[in-house]
C-alpha cells in the first residue's frame, strides 16, 4: 500500500517548539519483575492515577488474564524514599489492594479477551481503556468503559466504528480500517472540569497513516477522541502527529516503534502527552514529554481518512526528553517502558509532582519503574509565552516554506 502520509497539514499551526523544561528529576523507585502481591504477579502497569482524597494511586495492569485475571492495584508512594540512583530500591512503593476487572456479565475476563491500558479515577468511578486486538487469531474492538471500585462494570462509551479493525490482520492492505494491533487505546484522560473524556490510539488508524516502524521511520497521524462524560458519546476528533523513532534499531531491520502512550489534561483541550520509542539493540526506551494543544485544531471526525486531507493538527511542544536526565553519580537514567502518568500534590519545593510508571511486559530483562518529576513552572505556560513561541515558529516556517504540504 502506497502511504506517503502526504496529509496537507496547515502550515504555521504545526510548530514543534522547544522551551526550557519546567520539570526536574526528583528520583525513582524500581520494583523488580517477579514481585508478588496478594497472589498476583505485579507488572504491566500501563496507566496510573492519583486520588487526593485517599492519598493513594490506582494503577492498571495490561495483563491479558495470562498471568492472573485482568486487574488494577491501589498503592501508595513515599517520595522521600525515591532517589536519583541506578539502584534506588523499592521501599517507596507500597501495594495496598489488587482488584479484578469484571466483564459486563460480572465475571473475570478470560485469557486474551481484554487488554487494559489506562485508568482514571473520579470519586467512586474508574474509567479505563481496552486496546483491543488485530491478529490472525481474531479481532477485538477497542473499548472505553467505566467500573466501580470493586471492578464491576458500570457503563461503556460509544467508540466511533472507524476505530474497529476490519480487513487484513496486518492492517496494511487497501481497504483495511481501524486500529493496528498493539497500537490502539493506550491513552485516556479527563478534562480538568471532568465533563469530557479523551482517548487516543497509539499510532494512526489503518485508513489514516502507516505506523511508526523501523522500515518507515516517519510520523504517524493518529486521532484523539473527545467524549461527553454524561452521554458517553463522541463529540470531536483531533489529529495528533506521533513523532518518528528516537533511535534506530540494531540490526537495522529488527523491531522498533514509537507511540503516543498516555495523555494528561492540564487545561482546556491542553495536555501533557507521553511518547515512548523502543528500538531493538538499544538500551532502554526513548521517552519524551510534550505539551499538546487542540484549541486551534480541526475537528476531523467528518473525515473518513486523514491521508491526503487538509486539516490543522494539535500543536506540540517538547517539554522534556527524559533521556537527558542523569542520576547523582552522573550515570544516565535508564528508562523502561513508560506508559502511565499522573499528577500529585507538591513534594519538597515543588508545587506539583508528576509521577510516571513503566509497563515491564512481565519480562525478566525489564522492571516496573516509578519516576517523580517536580514542576518548576505552570503547564501550560502563560499565554503570552505560548503566543510568542508560536509566532517565532511561524516566522521560521515561512522562511523555509516550499509548498502547502508538510513532510510530503
Closest CA to 345 of 29, 31, 53, 40: 53
Entry pTM: 0.90
Range with the lowest mean pLDDT among 19-23, 250-254, 306-310?
19-23
Q: Does residue 1 fall inside a structural domain?
A: no
Q: Does residue 119 fall inside a structural domain?
A: yes
Q: Give the model's pLDDT for residue 200.
A: 98
pLDDT tops 80 at residue 381:
no
Tell me the three cell numbers of residue 377: 513552572
Per-residue pLDDT band for 12 (boundaries 50, 70, 90) equals very low
Q: Does residue 68 fall inside a structural domain?
A: yes
Q: Give the model's pLDDT for residue 388.
A: 38
The strands making up 270-279's β-sheet, listed across from edge to edge, are 16-18, 315-321, 286-293, 270-279, 256-267
CB atoms within 10 A of CB 24: 14
User: Which uninterrupted H or E stretch holds 394?
Assistant: helix 383-400
pLDDT tops 50 at residue 50:
yes
Contact indicator for 276, 212 with CB cutoff of 8 Å: no
Range with the lowest mean pLDDT among 24-38, 90-104, 265-279, 392-406?
392-406
Q: Does residue 289 fall inside a structural domain?
A: yes
Q: Does residue 54 fall inside a structural domain?
A: yes
Rounded Cα gap, residues 190 and 198, in angstroms: 6
Q: Give the model's pLDDT for residue 13.
A: 30
Q: Does residue 204 fall inside a structural domain?
A: yes
Per-residue pLDDT band for 380 (boundaries 50, 70, 90) equals confident
For residue 52, what are the domain limits?
A: 8-400
Q: Does residue 272 fall inside a structural domain?
A: yes
CATH code of the domain in which 168 resides: 2.115.10
Closest CA to 263 of 45, 19, 49: 49
Q: Give the model's pLDDT for residue 222.
A: 98
Rounded Cα gap, residues 18 and 265, in angstroms: 19
pLDDT tops 60 at residue 397:
no
CB atoms within 10 A of CB 310: 13
Tell me the three cell numbers of residue 53: 482524597
Q: Give the model's pLDDT for residue 360.
A: 98
Q: Does residue 2 fall inside a structural domain?
A: no
| Number of separate domains in the chain | 1
Amino acid at each position: 500500500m502506497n502511504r506517503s502520509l502526504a496529509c496537507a497539514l496547515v502550515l504555521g499551526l504545526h510548530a514543534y517548539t522547544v522551551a526550557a523544561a519546567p520539570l526536574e528529576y526528583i528520583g525513582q523507585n524500581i520494583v523488580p519483575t517477579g514481585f508478588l502481591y496478594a497472589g498476583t504477579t505485579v507488572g504491566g502497569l500501563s496507566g496510573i492515577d492519583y486520588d487526593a482524597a485517599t492519598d493513594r494511586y490506582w494503577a492498571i495492569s495490561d495483563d491479558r488474564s495470562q498471568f492472573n485475571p485482568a486487574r488494577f492495584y491501589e498503592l501508595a508512594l513515599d517520595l522521600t524514599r525515591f532517589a536519583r540512583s541506578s539502584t534506588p530500591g523499592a521501599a517507596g512503593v507500597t501495594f495496598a489492594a489488587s482488584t479484578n476487572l469484571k466483564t459486563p456479565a460480572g465475571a473475570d475476563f478470560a485469557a486474551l479477551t481484554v487488554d487494559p491500558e489506562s485508568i482514571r479515577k473520579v470519586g467512586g468511578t474508574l474509567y479505563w481503556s481496552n486496546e483491543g486486538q488485530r491478529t490472525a487469531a481474531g479481532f477485538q474492538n477497542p473499548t472505553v468503559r467505566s467500573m466501580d471500585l470493586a471492578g464491576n462494570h458500570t457503563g461503556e462509551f460509544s467508540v466511533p466504528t472507524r476505530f474497529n479493525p476490519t480487513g487484513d490482520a496486518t492492517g496494511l492492505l487497501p481497504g483495511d480500517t481501524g486500529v493496528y494491533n498493539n497500537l490502539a487505546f493506550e491513552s485516556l484522560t479527563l478534562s480538568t472540569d471532568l465533563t469530557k473524556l479523551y482517548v487516543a490510539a497509539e499510532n494512526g488508524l489503518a485508513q489514516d497513516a502507516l505506523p511508526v516502524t523501523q522500515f518507515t521511520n516517519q510520523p504517524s497521524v493518529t486521532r484523539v477522541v473527545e467524549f461527553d462524560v454524561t452521554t458517553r458519546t463522541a463529540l470531536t476528533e483531533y489529529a495528533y502527529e506521533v513523532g518518528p523513532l528516537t533511535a534506530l534499531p540494531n540490526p537495522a531491520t529488527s523491531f522498533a516503534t514509537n507511540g503516543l502512550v498516555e495523555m494528561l489534561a492540564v487545561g482546556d483541550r491542553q495536555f501533557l502527552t507521553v511518547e515512548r520509542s523502543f528500538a531493538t539493540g538499544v538500551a532502554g526506551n526513548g521517552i519524551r514529554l510534550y505539551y499538546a494543544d487542540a484549541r486551534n485544531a480541526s475537528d476531523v471526525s467528518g473525515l473518513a481518512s486523514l491521508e491526503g486531507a487538509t486539516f490543522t493538527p494539535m500543536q506540540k511542544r517538547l517539554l522534556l526528553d527524559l533521556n537527558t536526565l542523569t542520576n547523582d553519580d552522573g550515570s544516565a537514567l535508564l528508562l523502561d517502558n513508560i506508559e502511565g502518568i499522573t499528577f500529585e500534590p507538591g513534594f519538597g519545593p515543588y508545587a506539583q509532582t508528576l509521577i510516571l510508571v513503566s509497563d515491564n511486559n512481565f519480562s525478566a530483562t525489564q522492571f516496573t519503574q516509578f519516576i517523580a518529576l517536580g514542576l518548576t513552572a505552570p503547564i501550560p505556560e502563560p499565554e503570552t509565552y505560548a503566543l510568542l513561541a508560536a509566532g517565532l515558529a511561524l516566522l521560521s516556517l515561512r522562511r523555509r516554506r516550499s509548498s502547502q504540504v508538510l513532510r510530503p
